[in-house]
Amino acid sequence: MYSRAVVDYVSFESLPRKFYLMDTFEGMPSEQFSAKELAAGLREWYRYGDMFESTQAHFKTYPNVVFVKGSIPDTLSSVTSEKIAYLSIDMNAAAPEIAAAEYFWDRLVPGAVIVLDDYGWRRHFVQKQAFDEFAAARSVSVLTLPTGQGIIIKP
């Protein structure tokens, strides 16, 4: 699990910070995919059972990890942090991903990193286009990594 690797690497349990894990923990609702994304077969790729309890168990040694179950953008207001240094976006659909990026942009501190999990993958062309537009509107660039991920650094 990507988020677990991050909290392990920085010994997050010892930091006076919160790490929010926001997800449906049940896969993406069909209505969050655009017609183009459905035509690309994304709905079939991101269907899974309830993972909430197993995810909580995976992070049990991290008391400062906060779980927010539900769809984006509905749950965005659950995040109370005013300063955000790291944002990892992996919802596999452009609309909720852009909603999250727009919601948190003004809270990101200078030098904050946004990781876009599916940015460089052909099947996720709608997400790439949406984030290219998002970045251009803010006069920033998206760096494409060999992993297929994209990185935006807040100036």
Specify the number of domains making up the chain. 1
The burial of 77, by beta-carbon neighbours within 10 Å (0-12 exposed, 13-18 middle, 19 or more buried), is given as exposed
The CATH number for 59's domain is 3.40.50.150
pLDDT of 2 reads: 83
**What average pLDDT does range 62-71 have in this prediction?**
96
**What average pLDDT does range 138-153 have in this prediction?**
97
What range defines the domain where residue 118 resides?
2-153
- Supply the pTM of this predicted model: 0.90
pLDDT category at 21 given cuts 50, 70, 90 is: very high
3 state DSSP class of 56: helix
Does residue 57 register a pLDDT over 60?
A: yes
pLDDT of 35 reads: 86
Nearest CA among 118, 97, 98, 124 for reference residue 39 = 124
